Structure 1
């Protein structure tokens, strides 16, 4: 290791401290090595003490330009939808793209002065910064009206773990709104906000969107900056729009997409202005005669996406019927097999423990070039305390235990193997997408489940088993980074009660950075058919 500076005049650390730290890792230092290292580490401490404060580079918002008021925790959070309320807008917006629209932010997205709970009491943190997506919403004339509830540490697909309480499905009280962007799904689905921004690492935009009968887009990895948002895993992190219509989805994506100079997920993102203009091209599609809207578009029906273990036959019928309707819109529809699709969720499950446990729960982001929210990092140690662990829901607790297990039993070789397999799987989708413009499949294998009566008091295993297989069609595209949109295509009976009707979602997956293809195909279907009258 090259040394920039050795400061022999610096106050010397104790030899015993050096030896104790080495001993914690099972190392024994010779007396000479310990003495030599005292000089080196003393110089290191002196350099650390000499560094300037990083406040000069932290993007603290101009509160005169972006004022916020009425910050409070609502006594009525609308059946779990709200985490907090606020009114925040720009006094001099640069466009009217979102003029007057109301937007909720998932409660892992920073908005200065508003508590960011991340669905858990593990860390109590009020940000000093605004996430890039929040600033862009306000610059586009949108009004941020609150923080939407999210599941505990953003690691649940069932809306029963948020610190603010259960989040109920807008179509059926007592049923899940999906997760982890559960509040976003409920608030948009119930018409309480025009739009919301969710985040997705395994399906957390698309699961609540499919469950709540709304449109949700997980953009191409890196299309939307993740700056100022609590990470789960930088290789999986996506932020994107959740709206009632495809056009609104395109509108919000246009407002928040593009590089921001902070997020290294965007380091190679070099898109011209037209490729970041989504609304115009969506409008162009739906203005055509119905039979010509998708002329020249090739849609691949992903066979493995209809072969999920335990898949509800009503979901299969509903989505297949929706797929069949593309032919009347001028599209060419054909089956396609990608065997690697069945491997993808297994790789996701195997890989997240090491990286996601470290990043999501301990804040470790070494090697990434991005905004570090150091005030939050200061609240987390190198390991969770018992109190912090006990504050987690079943999914996040299982994640942390997996992190400890994989670190001890498998290590970095296993992590490297999973990352290599992710590339192998992504290449398989890319190969298919050379033949087709989009791939189509059910978003979820079954309708939203009923919420447990006593939240997660039933225990880790029973609670976790409620969502087994849920992410089989969603998590593969967090691994691969392809854009994926869920749109509602009808109602199906609840598994627990055939008299309860719940939304079913269809997922469209496109080529990387061609998010507009997903939007165009989705918009054409939405224009031609009213999903609310379609039932299995």
Structure 2
């Protein structure tokens, strides 16, 4: 390591501290090395002490331009949907794209002055900055009306772990709304808001969208800036729209997409303005005669997506019927096999512990060029305290224990192996998407499960077993970065009670940066068929 400056007079570090820290790392220092290190570290501490404050570069909002009022935690939280409420809009919007629309932000998205729980009581944090997506919503004329509840540390697919309480399915109280963007889906599904923004690392937009009967898009990795949003793992972090209709999904995506100069997921993203327009192509598709809306579009039905262990046969039938209807819209539909798909979720599972434990729970983002929310990072140390660990839900607690286990037992070589396999699997999807415009499959293998009555008091293992296999079709595309959209296509009986009918979702996957193709195909199906009557 090159030395920029040494201050021999600034011996602020005690030799005992140097020796002790080295010993904790398993290193024994000679007397001479310890003395030399005291001088070197003292110089480093002097430099650190004299660095300028970074507040001048933080995206702290102009509250005269983006005022916010009535910040509060509502007594009636819409059966778990709300974490907090606020009223915020821009006094001089640059467009009217979202004029008159109300939008909720997932509660891992920073919005200055509004508490951000991230679904957990692990730390208490009220941001001073606004996430890029929040600013863009207001610049487009939208009104932000609150923070939607999310699952504990954003690491559950079952809506029973949020620190604000259970989030109930809008179609059946007592059943899951999905996760981790559970509140975002419920609020849209009940009509409490027009739109919401969720985040997705394994399916956290698409799982609740499918569970609640709404449209949810995980955009191409880097299409929407993640600036000002609490990370899980920068390699799989995605933010995207959750809406009642496909056109609204296109509208919100158009408002929030595009580089923001902060997020290094986007540094190589060079898209012309036409590639960031989503509403006009959707409108053009649905204006065509029904039988020609999807003329020239090839849809590949992913066979492995229908072959998941424990998959509900009602889901399979419902989604297959929906896929078959694409032919009536002019599309060419054919089966496609991608054997690597069966490996993809397993690679996701084994690649998560090291980076996600470090980034999501400990705040370690070194190596990334992005906005660091340093006030929140200061609240977490190099290891979780017992209190912090005890505040985690089963999924996040399991993540942290896996992080400690993998760090000790496997290390960087295993992580490297997983990243190499991710590239191998992503290439397999790319190859199939040279032949097909869209890959189609069920979003989830089964309908939303029933919520446990006592949260996760039933124990980590039993709680986790409620959603086993849920991310088999969703997590692969977080790793690969392909855009993936879930659209509701009908109702199926709940597994626990055949008299309860719950939504089923169809997932559409397109080429990277061809998010508009997902939207066009979904819009055509939505225009032609009423999913609630199928």
- Bucket of the pairwise TM-score, normalised by the shorter protein: over 0.9
Aligned twin of 1:161? 161
The question of 1:385 aligning with 2:385 is answered yes
Rounded to whole Å, the distance in 1 between the matches of 2:48 and 2:173 is 55
**Partner SS for 2:174:** strand
| TM-score (normalised: structure 2) | 1.00
Q: Equivalences for 1:306-345 in 2 at 5 Å?
A: 306-345=306-345
Aligned residue for 2:533?
533
1:466 counterpart residue number: 466
Q: Describe the superposition over 1:190-223 as per-residue Cα deviations: whole angstroms up to 9, x where unpaired.
A: 1110000000000000000000000000000000
The alignment partner of 2:351 has SS state of helix
**How many Å separate the matches in 2 of 1:125 and 1:260?**
24
Cross-structure match for 1:241: 241
Between the two proteins, the alignment pairs up a number of residues equal to: 534
Structure 2 residue aligned with 1:70:
70
In the TM superposition, 1:17-32 aligns within 5 A as: 17-32=17-32
Q: Aligned with 2:210: secondary structure?
A: helix
Q: Distance in 2 between matches of 1:66 and 1:100?
A: 16
1:145-193 deviation digits (Å, cap 9, x = unpaired):
0000000000000000001110000000100000000001100001110
In the alignment, does 2:505 pair up with 1:505? Answer: yes
Distance (whole Å) between structure 2 residues aligned to residue 312 and residue 325 of structure 1:
21
Q: SS state of the match for residue 359, structure 1?
A: helix
Q: Distance in 1 between matches of 2:119 and 2:341?
A: 31
SS in 2 for 1:240: strand
Instruction: Report whether the alignment pairs 1:285 with 2:285.
Output: yes
**Separation of aligned partners in 1, 2:110 and 2:290:** 42
4+ residue segments displaced more than 6 Å: none
Question: Following superposition of structure 1 onto structure 2, how do residues 353-502 of structure 1 map, counting pairs within 5 Å?
Answer: 353-502=353-502
Return the alpha-carbon distance in structure 2 between the equivalents of residues 70 and 263 of structure 1: 31
Write the distance in 2 (CA, Å) between the matches of 1:22 and 1:246: 57
Query: In the TM superposition, what is the alpha-carbon distance from 1:113 to its structure 2 partner?
Result: 0.0
Using the alignment, how far apart are the partners of 1:62 and 1:237 within structure 2?
27
The aligned counterpart of 1:267 is 267
What is the Cα deviation at residue 10 of structure 1?
A: 1.3
In the alignment, which residue of structure 1 is the partner of 2:110? 110
Cα distance in structure 2, aligned partners of 1:59 and 1:242: 25
CA distance in 1, matches of 2:531, 2:466: 27
- What is the CA-CA distance between 1:11 and the residue it aligns to? 3.1
Instruction: Report the Cα offset of residue 59 of structure 1.
Output: 1.1
Deviation of 1:2 after TM superposition, in Å, equals 1.1
Query: Deviations for 1:321-354, whole angstroms, at most 9, x for unmatched residues?
Result: 0000000000000000000000000000001000
In 1, Cα distance between the equivalents of 2:394 and 2:107? 19
**TM-score computed with the length of structure 1 as normaliser:** 0.99
Q: What is the CA deviation profile of residues 342-400 of structure 1, one whole-angstrom value per residue up to 9, with x for unaligned ones?
A: 00000000010000000000000000000000000010000000000000000000000
For 2:186, the equivalent position in structure 1 comes to: 186
Aligned positions of 1:3-18 closer than 5 A: 3-18=3-18
1:16 Cα deviation from its structure 2 partner = 0.8
Asked whether the equivalents of residues 490 and 505 of structure 2 are also in contact (C-alpha less than 8 Å), the reply is yes
For residues 292 and 102 of structure 2, the distance between their equivalents in structure 1, rounded to whole angstroms, comes to: 34
Q: SS in structure 1 opposite 2:211?
A: helix
Give structure 2 stretches of 5+ with no counterpart: none
Residues 11 and 38 in structure 2, CA contact (< 8 A), matched pair in contact too: no
Give a deviation string over 1:20-51, Cα, whole Å, max 9, x none.
00000110011111111111111000110110
Cα-to-partner distance string for 1:71-94 (whole Å, 9 max, x where unaligned): 000001010000000001000000
Note if contact 2:11-2:39 (Cα within 8 Å) is conserved in structure 1: no
Q: Aligned partners of 1:267 and 1:423: how far apart in 2? A: 20
CA-based RMSD of the aligned residues comes to 0.4
Spell out, residue by residue over 1:393-444, the C-alpha distance to the aligned partner (whole angstroms, 9 max, x if none): 0000000000000000000100000001000000000000000001000000
Question: Which piece of structure 1 moves more, 389-398 or 2-11?
Answer: 2-11
CA distance in 2, matches of 1:93, 1:56: 24
